[in-house]
């Protein structure tokens, strides 16, 4: 409309359009629009370049983003890199695995007289955290506080993640308590990181105090159990099962069955934990998993996944038989059906042989 009226878009208009593409995660469109823009008489400014660099990083076009950053430094009078530009570069080197460059960019920024803000500090802490470099993350965290910045939830979450990845539960717990003391409410990710770390390193013969600490974390996530990953879900299922809270374990599975596919890592333990005196629940849990598997379209499932799941089914059947919990005819029938449709005839034959030994006849 502006062009039809003889009025061309100015720089502000171009930046608004680019920002809209960025906000809508239409990164490729933003880059294409920028290419058209530079063919006009409008000269991009720092804001323009910052938007495009962000989009290039999202598109994993790291070389192009670095090239644009370097061109900005060459044209200081027109579009000098600012704090946003340098923060984006720190993130770029983090996600591209060039962690050593992150601090170099940070130091270059300081050398050019720019003062980092909390977003910059968080970006650098997050970069170290993602690589499990807890000492470096803690150093930047302390430096940030020394320079008068109050850590926010992103700061704490990044530091918590650093200790989680480096498997330091004591330090992670200290960060978690520090958040609470400073009235920074932990979010779901914070709780999940700490819970995942505790469960990963959890010794079920540990002191009652540690058991209660983990239980408190579980209670903080009830009743909706907003688990963020299948790994945390698996570990939590194992913990709750070991604690004998079968109903809670079943509720957790029910709450998350639509979000995550049951993993072969925890499937057998999940059922084993429900077995002692809980035959009906054990069969019910098996039915729940079988129903979930059965609803998947076979063409969307790789053969390898079927075989893995079949092997887990066999582990569970063996455990049930050893424990004196006799699988029903229907359970065997379902596993045979699963094997025939996804795993192959040789796996179905294994089930048929087991059935013959139990004198259940042929299906």
Each residue's pLDDT tens digit, 123-152: 999 999 989 899 999 999 999 999 999 998
* Whether pLDDT at 177 is above 60: yes
pTM: 0.59
- For the stretch 10-30, what's the b/e string if a residue is b when 16 or more beta carbons lie within 10 angstroms of its beta carbon? eeeebbebbbebbeeeebebb
**Quick one: CA torsion of 232, 237, 239, 240, rounded to 10 degrees?**
130
- Ranking 31-40, 150-159, 210-219, 296-305 by mean pLDDT, the lowest is 296-305
User: Is the model's pLDDT at 324 over the cut of 80?
Assistant: no
Percent of the chain with pLDDT over 90: 28
Backbone angles phi, psi at 6, to 5 degrees: 85, 10
Domains and CATH numbers, the chain: 211-363 (1.25.40)
What is the rounded average pLDDT of the residues 194-208? 48
The pLDDT-based confidence of 44 (bands split at 50, 70, 90) is confident
* Mean pLDDT, all residues of the chain: 72
The pLDDT score that the predictor gives to residue 94 is 92
Least confident of 89-93, 209-213, 228-232: 209-213
Q: According to DSSP H, which parts of 75-168 are helical?
A: 76-79, 83-95, 100-111, 118-130, 134-146, 153-165
């Amino acid at each position: 409309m502006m062009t039809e009226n003889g009025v061309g878009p100015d720089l502000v208009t171009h930046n608004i359009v680019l920002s809209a593409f960025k906000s809508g995660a239409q990164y490729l469109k933003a880059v294409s629009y920028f290419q058209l823009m530079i063919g006009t008489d409008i000269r991009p400014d720092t804001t323009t370049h910052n938007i495009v660099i962000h989009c290039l990083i999202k598109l994993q076009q790291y070389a192009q983003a670095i090239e644009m950053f370097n061109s900005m430094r060459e044209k200081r009078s027109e579009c000098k890199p600012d704090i946003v530009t340098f923060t984006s570069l720190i993130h770029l080197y983090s996600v591209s695995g060039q962690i050593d460059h992150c601090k170099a960019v940070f130091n270059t920024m300081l050398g050019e007289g720019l003062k980092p803000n909390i977003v910059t500090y968080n970006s650098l802490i997050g970069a170290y955290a993602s690589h499990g470099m807890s000492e470096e993350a803690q150093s930047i965290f302390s430096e940030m506080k020394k320079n008068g910045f109050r850590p926010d939830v992103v700061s704490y979450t990044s530091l918590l993640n650093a200790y989680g990845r480096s498997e330091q539960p004591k330090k992670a717990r200290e960060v978690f308590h520090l958040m609470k003391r400073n009235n920074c409410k932990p979010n779901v990710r914070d709780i999940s990181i700490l819970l995942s770390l505790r469960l990963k390193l959890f010794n079920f013969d540990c002191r009652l105090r540690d058991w209660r600490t983990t239980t408190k974390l579980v209670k903080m996530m009830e009743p909706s159990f907003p688990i963020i990953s299948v790994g945390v879900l698996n570990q939590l299922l194992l913990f709750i099962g070991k604690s004998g809270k079968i109903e809670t374990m079943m509720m957790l599975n029910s709450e998350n069955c639509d979000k995550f596919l049951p993993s072969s890592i925890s499937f057998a333990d999940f059922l084993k934990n429900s077995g002692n005196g809980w035959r009906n629940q054990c069969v019910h849990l098996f039915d729940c998993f079988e129903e979930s598997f059965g609803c998947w379209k076979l063409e969307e499932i790789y053969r390898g996944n079927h075989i893995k799941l079949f092997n887990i089914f066999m582990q569970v059947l063996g455990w049930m038989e050893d424990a004196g919990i006799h699988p029903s005819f229907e359970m065997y029938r379902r596993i045979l059906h699963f094997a025939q449709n996804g795993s192959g005839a040789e796996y179905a034959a294994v089930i048929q042989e087991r059935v013959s030994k139990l004198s259940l006849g042929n299906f």
